[in-house]
Amino acid sequence: MANCIAECYGYDKSRVKEDHRLGSEGAKAIAATWDTRATAYIAKDGSGYVSVQGKNGETIHHFDFGPESER
């Protein structure tokens, strides 16, 4: 049974394209331009991270969060 879901949306001028994937251990989503990449990951225990990287892979921002049991 899947514990996690990653959803994605692609926006054009006249439509929205949508997809999703289930995962039993975790889910990861990535959105990017040529120079900026944003990644979000969540594990089945609710822990994970959000990270933004710029050109050449340098980290602009990174945020880790703990499992649901610690909240």
For 16-48, how does the pLDDT look when each residue is reduced to its tens digit (9 = 90+)? 999 999 999 999 999 999 999 999 999 999 999
Cβ neighbours of 3 (radius 10 Å): 15
Q: Give the pLDDT of residue 1.
A: 57
Q: Is pTM beyond 0.75 here?
A: yes
pLDDT digits 0-9 by tens, 7-22:
999 999 999 999 999 9
32 is a domain residue: yes
55 is a domain residue: yes
User: In terms of residue numbers, what domain contains 39?
Assistant: 25-71
Buried b or exposed e, range 20-59, using 16+ CB within 10 angstroms: eeeeeeebebeeeeeeebeebbbbbeebbeebebeeeeee
Q: What is the mean pLDDT of residues 50-57?
A: 95
3-state secondary structure of 38: strand
Distance, in Å, from the CA atom of 20 to the CA atom of 8, rounded to the nearest integer, reads: 6
**Residue 60's pLDDT band (cuts 50, 70, 90):** very high
How many structural domains compose the chain?
1
8 is a domain residue: no
51 is a domain residue: yes
13 is a domain residue: no
